[in-house]
Amino acid sequence: MTIKKTFSDLEFNAHANHPNGVQAKLDLGNNTEISVVSMLTRESEFGGLYGDVSKGTYEVAVFQGDNMIPLSAWDDVIGWRTEDEITELMSKLQNGQDDTQAFIDELYLAKSKNRAELGLD
């Protein structure tokens, strides 16, 4: 049995494009990588990254190969996630190839249905 990676396995470094941000990337297997970013301090209520380290919140993106996986029906990234919520997402992305792909397919389907309802597809 393989031990699943959790939030505590993420190693944060300075963000490549934001001087007040941090970023961690981690290979979850199944050609899937998670990217977690956050602001060190909130400069203002708007702008920057969708998370605040001092409040324990983070912005998350997931990639499968070169493709960004839609993490909600509205967007490819999700913001303001707690460490526990990120660990839960990471767990769903490490359930074995078939289960992981089924979870990812559900995410794509939800976004597709949302776009169709809005007349965007």
pLDDT in tens, the chain (121 residues): 679 999 999 999 999 998 899 999 999 998 999 999 999 987 666 568 999 999 999 999 999 999 999 999 889 999 999 999 999 999 999 998 899 999 999 999 999 999 899 888 7
Q: How many residues in total does the chain contain?
A: 121
Q: Quote the tokens at residue 59.
A: 């912005």
Using CA atoms, how far apart are residues 95 and 88, in angstroms rounded to an integer? 11
Q: Which amino acid is at 6?
A: T
- Measure CA of the first residue to CA of the last residue in the chain; give whole Å: 42
Instruction: Identify the H or E element spanning 59.
Output: strand 58-64
pLDDT of residue 48: 82
Using CA atoms, how far apart are residues 71 and 49, in angstroms rounded to an integer? 16
User: pTM of this prediction?
Assistant: 0.92
